Chain A
Amino acid sequence: MLILVTEYLFKFLVIGSAGTGKSSLLNNFIGNKFKEDRCHTIGVEFGSKIVNIGGKSTKLQIWDTAGQERFRSVTRSYYRGAAGALLVYDITSRDSFNTLSNWLRDARTLASPNIIILLVGNKKDMEESREVTFTEASQFAQENELMFLETSAKTGENVEEAFLKCSKTILAKIETGELDPERIGSGIQYGTGTSKRLSAPKKPARMTPECACRV
């Protein structure tokens, strides 16, 4: 039995319009292969990863939400109590950039007021179809006090960077006392109990025979 002790656990959101590559970013980050074919997220897809930031091992609980407008009202209900968020647009889609302020407003009002948001311009690899320049996006980021990176979920460029940068900022704020991990709804848990059992999972006691999963 291997026990990984983590110092903190952060709740992390990935938000932004449909098709901007949120799920692809998450998949790349947690080590899954990039998929060309498109598969909309319905509900929430979870991912988690333990990262090491300045000697502190921190676990990210990542909530990749559905970007389609018709799911908006439901996904908004998951914003609360997130410590950090990646706000994703697609550099090849002006539309996805134009809706950023709506996403931002939701995040700021619904998530914890101290949420750390990093703006992500994804699909950096598709330079030839770029519709949003780096400069105008950085300006938007600056105006809205966001950090900013351009990434590619396809090549993996800057993906880990994005998650790490956001986490670093959260940790720094914890250290300066600006963020209080003990405040309920901070989206931060202490890691003492988050030791992950890598042995066979414990199963609830009672089980009915025919529900044993067959493949």
Chain B
Amino acid sequence: MIKFWKSADKGKSGCPVRPPEPSTSSNKINNKTLLDTQLDDVEDEVHIFEKKSKLCLSLHDILIEKKSIKYFIQFMESIDKYLPVKCWLEMENFKKLLLNTNYTDKFDSHVKISRTKSYDFQCKCDEMVEKNITQKNMLRDKIGNKLSGTSDLRKFNSSSSSCMNLTETNTILDSCSECGVNNKSNITEIAIDIFKKYVAQEAPFTLDLPDSYRKSVISNICHPEGVIKEDCFKPVQDIIFNEIENNYFKDFISSPFYIKAQIDILTNGSLNLKDILYNDTLLFYYTEFLEQESCRHLLEFLMAVMHFRDNLTDGNPCQPDQVQADAIILYDKYFSLQATSPIGFPQYIRLKIESDICIEDGPHHTCFDLPYRIVFKTLSRYVKTFLDSELYYKYLSEMIHSVDQIWSSNNRSQSDCSSEFSISTQNTLLAMGDPVFRKKKRNHSVPDMTIDSNQLYNADALWQRKKNDGLTLGRVNSLGRFESKFEPDPDKKDKSVLKKMVSRFVPSVTSKVEEEMAWQIAHMIVKDVTDLTMAPPENE
């Protein structure tokens, strides 16, 4: 305490001068933002300091947490590298399956396989000591089951390398649950199946693994103690994971698939402040938004506290003096009554910070946590407004646009691409900013109006259509003037073609409003088409 105010006395060196309590800096009032000082609970205390944005996907997020995995698979397929992913996933599923089985297993039984002396890597199962006759009777059945299983295996094995001939798999199980037993014998089979497919030397989908990996998997499956562990494929999984990470992941990040994954996240309504803070591009937009809302200093404050904290928690050796100096800088800037960027914390917070800065061995890294949480909460509230803002809309459309652009420049050849379609759907949705309009349109889905999306991407088909009078929108009359079929001719008594169409789609009982809506939509469509067809050729 003493030190803080001693330096404060000097005043001129930029250190805090303790201001007289009744302050007068009322001219700063309009620079303030309403803070949310009511923190419901401490639930996300740890959470809010975690530096992770949902928008920045790592390979771990994708493969292990299965986030946006479909886009990653699409990407790997597009570069013809799906195999490693497929293999990795199958091994992962195996692991999960085994974990589940083991978890539900009350009798702690395992598939037991052991190596015999006469054959290399030949697997055999240990016999378990059975305690009662009922179990033994059940066992007999199981052995029967198992045998039929092994004969299949043998067939399967004959094609693969000799070192892995699992010629005789004699599994004996000591579980009481019949289905549990089936699970377990299946598990051995699945493990062998996966091995055959990817790991074995002559596997149909060879991954070019070093021999040492193959061997270690073999010994994992044919464990001396006879227990298949859920991580028996781990060495292979690890090597695949690294390979994908090093060779393909960077390309994925810069591919339209990644942007599409991000668009999904951006539009699923789950975005929170952290997602923005730890994504550079979105932060760029959010910063601009906050400036428009006159509260960019709140963001500045968050970042400053983050730095202050990191500096103390990253294990850097830190002199208490320096930490205190840092804290004083923050105090001067945001808390003091003469603060240069006042945030408007209530007095009790300012007083608390003052005393926290002045404790014996310099302030703790948690010194500003309370005000941080308050500002974090306030800025989280701004996220909601941000997500409805024009800026956010702009960001989204830029994302969508860039997917479109990359697709059209790189992948024109892959014309039948489903992703293009999904993007254009997004676009249309966005184009219809008015939610009421959107809802109406959905309600009025007209069965006969579906468009074959494939045709949209086959430009040639458009020109190869049979000429059909029924499709024309109008005609050029003898005076050379275009007469629309849809503009009701004042001379004619009957309804225009369009009017008839509209009334067909809109049941007669529906309200005038709905019919009006349908009319508007129809008009828009017709106008778009006529605009296109009636536009003079560009070279004229």
Q: List 29 A-B contacts (CB under 8 A).
A: A9-B288, A39-B329, A42-B304, A42-B330, A43-B300, A43-B304, A43-B305, A44-B304, A71-B311, A77-B280, A182-B398, A189-B288, A189-B398, A192-B394, A193-B391, A193-B393, A194-B288, A194-B391, A203-B34, A206-B381, A208-B36, A208-B37, A211-B35, A211-B37, A213-B29, A213-B343, A215-B32, A215-B337, A215-B342
- A74 touches which one: B33, B310, B325 (CB < 8 A)? B310
Find chain B residues with CB under 8 A from A123 CB: none
Q: Are B332 and A210 in contact (CB under 8 A)?
A: no
Known interface pairs A44-B303, A71-B307, A196-B292; A211-B398 also in contact (CB < 8 Å) = no
How far apart are the CA atoms of A44 and B283 in the complex, in Å?
Answer: 13
Size class of A's contact patch? 35 or more
How far apart are the CA atoms of A197 and B391 in the complex, in Å?
Answer: 13
Known interface pairs A193-B391, A214-B344; A184-B399 also in contact (CB < 8 Å) = yes
How far apart are the CA atoms of A211 and B349 in the complex, in Å?
Answer: 11
Q: Are A189 and B28 in contact (CB under 8 A)?
A: no
Find chain A residues with CB under 8 A from B280 CB: 77-78, 80-81, 185
How far apart are the CA atoms of A81 and B311 in the complex, in Å?
Answer: 24
B105 contacts A by Cβ under 8 Å: no
Residue in A closest to B25 when the chains form the complex, CB atoms = A215
Q: Are A39 and B292 in contact (CB under 8 A)?
A: no
Find chain A residues with CB under 8 A from B402 CB: 182-184
B385 contacts A by Cβ under 8 Å: yes
How far apart are the CA atoms of A44 and B329 in the complex, in Å?
Answer: 13
Which residues in B have some Cβ–Cβ distance to A below 8 Å? 12-14, 23, 25-26, 28-30, 32-38, 259, 280-281, 284-285, 287-288, 291-296, 299-300, 303-308, 310-311, 314, 316, 318, 325-326, 329-330, 332, 337, 342-347, 381-382, 384-385, 390-391, 393-394, 398-399, 401-402, 405
Find chain A residues with CB under 8 A from B284 CB: 11, 61, 81, 187, 189
Give, as a whole number of angstroms, the nearest-CB distance from B316 to chain A.
6
20 more contacts with CB within 8 A, not counting A11-B284, A43-B304, A81-B284, are A44-B300, A45-B300, A46-B287, A46-B291, A61-B287, A61-B288, A70-B311, A182-B401, A182-B405, A192-B394, A193-B394, A194-B288, A201-B33, A201-B293, A201-B294, A207-B36, A210-B37, A210-B346, A211-B36, A211-B38
A105 contacts B by Cβ under 8 Å: no
Which chain A residues (7-42) contact chain B, with CB distance < 8 Å? 9, 11, 35, 37-40, 42
How far apart are the CA atoms of A70 and B405 in the complex, in Å?
Answer: 41
Find chain A residues with CB under 8 A from B405 CB: 182
A1 contacts B by Cβ under 8 Å: no
